[in-house]
Every structure is written in structure tokens, then in C-alpha cells.
Structure 1
Amino acid sequence: MAGSAQSTDGSNEVAEIVDGRLEEVDVSKHPTPSIPESDLSLADLERRRSHPAQWIAYVAAVLVAIIAPYWVGRTLAVQRTAWLVAHMSAFDTRGLVFVSWTVTLVALTGLGMAVVESQTWLWRIVFVVGLAAEQFIAGLSLLKFDFWYSTYVVYGKAAYLANATNLGIIAAGFAVAVYAVVWVGLLVAIRKDSPLNVLTRSWASFILFFAIEAIALLVVLFGGLLTTV
């Protein structure tokens, strides 16, 4: 038989009767609240943390990264064509594909990591920088839906250089579209209690993303596409 009595001296012990004897027993203190009392609601606290001015500036930076570099690159392609061809000719077509694919991959990776690591601005900055670089290269190579007509008009016999650059960007973009379809399919098809559920983890999704991107690059480099445009 056991009984207990609260301590009256404010200590962290109580007197408890164990087997007919009175003993002092340690007990846990009640946790002290770490958040001060406030009249603000949770919505008010989240609103204060949102920093709308920063997001407005960031959206503006993204828009600038989309428009300005493409315009600069396109202007150089039209007005400094000979100079640009001389510098692009230093690269092999596969090298141009790899450069444009890599730059686009950096932008896409920054976007993905910005979604996953939403509390840090590092990956958002990486995305903007990568996007600006990709748009600049797209402007240089006159990227659009039927780019091969524009590149032939501007670059003439050297159009294959710009076409190769465009293929690198398109490969990275097409690969991320395939990845999105495959990833959503895995989320829908795999049950939560299935051993294959490990494929839906974040680290597995990034491995899948880079694997599909690498396959797309290899298809462009060695699949004969460079000789068709």
C-alpha cells in the first residue's frame, strides 16, 4: 500500500508512504511555458513572419531574370552574329549541349530545393541566377517553338551551333516533365505500407530526377538528334 503527500517547501520532491514507511520521492517539474502570452492569433503570427515585401521583390527578380537576359542574348545574336559565331565555334556541338543542359539543370535544381528547403533563401537565389543564365543562353540561341528557322536566318551555316544549345535546354526541360509524371505516378500507385514506398522519399525523388536528366542528356548527345537540326 502506498500513499503520497505534496511537498510544501517548493522542492521537486514529495513524501510518499511505501510499504508503511515515509520516503522522499523525486517527481518531474511541470514544464515552464517557453512562449510568452500574447493576444495575437496564430494567423497574425504567421502573417508577421511572411515578409510580403521580400516576396514581392523576389517575384520581381524572377520576372527580370526571365525577360532581361533573354532580350540581351537575342540582341547579341542579331547584332553581333559574327562575333558570337567565332566564340561559339570554339566548342563542339556536344559541349554546347552539355553547357546549356547544365545551366538549365542548375535552375531546375534550385527551384526544387527551394520548394523542399522553404525556410532558406539560398536555393531561391540559386534558382534566380540559374534562370537568368538559362534565359541568356536561350536568347543567344534564339530558342522558341520552331527555333531552327530563326537560327538558320540569323546564323546561316553556323545554325547548328545554336541548335545544339537549344537541344540542351529542351532536353533538361523535357526530362523534368517526364520526372513529374513518373513521380506523381509513383505517389498514386505505391501504397503507404508497401516496401516500395521508399521510392517516394525525398532523397529517392532527387536520385530519380538526376537519373532522368542524365538519360535525356545521353539521348541528345548520342541519339542522333544533333544531326537532325
Structure 2
Amino acid sequence: MADESERNEATEIVDGRVETVEVSKHPEATIPETDLSLADIERGRSHPVRWAVYAAAVLVAIIAPYWYGRALAVNDTAWLTAHLDAFTPQGMAFLSWTVTLAAIAMLGVAIVDSGRWIWRILFVIGLAAEQFVAGVALLRLDFWYSTYVVYGESATVANAANLGIIAAGFGVAVFAVIWVGLLVVIRKESPLNVLTRSWASFILFFAIEAAALLVVMFGGLLTTVGA
């Protein structure tokens, strides 16, 4: 029988009566004592070299694919035009929108699930693909002039690629405004606060992106820019 002095007891109401019941003790600490502070522990987990390499990879993914795609457009126009003619304007807009959306989505998942590097790696891959498409399509503010000079009568497909990328970017901007507005307007204890949850935010994000794509594909923009 355990020593009475070692027993832990508490008073509880059981079936309407006050009774003294035995409760379990706290387990012994299994984490060894250390002289390191919390700041020292977090500093040891920061991995600055890894982040520096990743930042360099992001920079390369932004510059190199765009430069290569633009070089193809300028130096191998005939070869590139022959391959672009396999796409309809709607198909190219959808392709460029999908590539851009994938990169943005991977960035969002990397922020939400910050403990896994796979999302950051997929973001870099998606970013490189988007930049390559942007380079081939000569993306800029007045892209329709550049594409007409380089591609001539075949500029419609390149213009569609630019519109797909712009649609995805515009969708992100609209989502950011709406999401921040929800954070400001909805009270924390309100049932509508569920709209700010991560899963609801992703649903809202994809809905806005889909609407932006539909506007580009069926709103007359492809015809207007391609004219």
C-alpha cells in the first residue's frame, strides 16, 4: 500500500455529493536541464546558410528562365512560333494561368505549413516555369507592342499567355484586399470568423482565380488584345 503522505487527493462533487478522490501525480521531467536560453535554441534552428542558398535559388528562378525565354523569342522566333501555333489563345491563357497559379499556391502553402521545405522547393520550380512563360511571351506593361514586333501575325497566342499571367496576378490582388477586409470587419468571436480560416481562405482564393480566368477567356480580352 502506498504511503499516505505520497498520495495526491482532491475534493470533487460526485453524483451530488462531495467526495475526496485520488488524482495522479505529475510525471517527472524528462527534458534535461540546459543553460541555453530560448533565443539560443531558436538561433540554432534558424539555419542561415540554408536560407541564403534558398534566397539565391529564388533569385535565379526569377532571372534565368525569363532571360532564356526572351532569348528564344528574339533569336529563334520561327522555331518558337511553329510550336506556339499548336495552342489556341484560350489554351495558352489557361496554361500560363495554371503555371502562375501553381507558383502562387505553393507560396501560400509554404507560408501556412512553414515546417516543410517541399512547398518552398515546389514554389521555386513553379516560379521558374512562370518566368519562362513570361519571357517567351515578352511580358511587360505594353506587351502587345513587343509581341507584335517579334511574332507578327502570330502574336495572339503570346498575348494570351500574358493575359493568363496577369489574370492570376490580378486574382491574388483581389483576394488580398478581400481577405484583409474580412480580418478587419469580422469580429473574432463572430461565427463568420470561419471565413478567415486557412481552408476557407484557400477556397476563396481559388474561386477568385477561377473568376479571373473566366473573364480573360470569355470576356473578350483575348479578341481585344489579339486584334
Measured against aligned partners, the alpha-carbon deviations of 1:168-225 in whole angstroms (never above 9, x if no partner) come to 0000000000000000001101111222111111111000000000000000000000
Equivalence for 1:162: 158
Q: Secondary structure at the match of 1:50?
A: coil
Percent of aligned positions that are identical: 71
Q: Quick one: distance in 2 between partners of 1:98 and 1:48? A: 44
Aligned counterparts, 1:42-53, within 5 A: 42-53=38-49
Paired residue type of 1:62: V
Residue 103 of structure 2 contacts residue 122 of structure 2 at CA under 8 Å; is this kept in 1? yes
- In the TM superposition, residue 41 of structure 1 has moved relative to its aligned partner by 0.4
Matches within 5 A, 1:170-185: 170-185=166-181
Quote the residue 1:136 is aligned against: 132
Shift, 1:27, TM fit:
4.4
In the aligned structure 2, how far is the partner of 1:196 from the partner of 1:58?
38
Is 1:227 matched with 2:223? yes
Aligned-pair distance for 1:14? 7.2
1:88 aligned to which of 84, 89, 100: 84
- 2:69, 2:132 within 8 Å by CA — same for their partners in 1? yes
Bigger RCO (CA 8 Å, 6+ sep): 2
User: How far is 1:26 from its partner?
Assistant: 5.3
What is the correspondence of 1:96-135 to structure 2 with a 5 Å cutoff?
96-135=92-131
> Of 33, 39, 45, which aligns to 2:35?
39
Aligned to 1:6: 5
- Structure 1's 92 and 38: CA in aligned 2 closer, same or farther, altered over 3 A? same
1:131 is matched by which residue type in structure 2?
L
1: distance between equivalents of 2:199 and 2:178? 15
Alignment TM-score, normalising by the size of structure 1: 0.89
1:208-227 correspondence to structure 2 within 5 Å: 208-227=204-223
CA gap of 1:144–1:39, structure 2 versus 1, over 3 A, is same
Specify the alignment match of 2:59 in structure 1.
Answer: 63
Offset of residue 30 of structure 1: 2.6
CA deviations on 1:80-100 (whole Å, 9 max, x unpaired) are 101111001011110000000
Which of 206, 209, 212 aligns to 2:202? It is 206
In the alignment, the residues of structure 2 paired with residue 50 and residue 33 of structure 1 have an alpha-carbon distance, to the nearest angstrom, of 27
Distance (whole Å) between structure 2 residues aligned to residue 14 and residue 67 of structure 1: 66
Provide the C-alpha distance between the structure 1 equivalents of 2:157 and 2:23, rounded to a whole number of angstroms: 77
Q: What secondary structure, in the 3-state scheme, does the structure 2 residue paired with 1:184 have? A: helix
Q: Is the 8 A contact 2:167 2:216 kept in 1?
A: yes
Q: Which runs of no fewer than 5 residues in structure 2 stay unpaired?
A: 10-20
Match status 1:193 vs 2:186: no
1:147 counterpart = 2:108: no
Q: Structure 1 residues 5 and 144 mapped into 2: Cα distance closer, same or farther (>3 Å)?
A: same
Q: How far 1:161 moved relative to its partner? A: 1.1
Unaligned runs of 5+ in 1: 8-12, 16-24
**3-state SS in 1 of match to 2:45:** helix
Cα RMSD after superposing both structures: 1.5
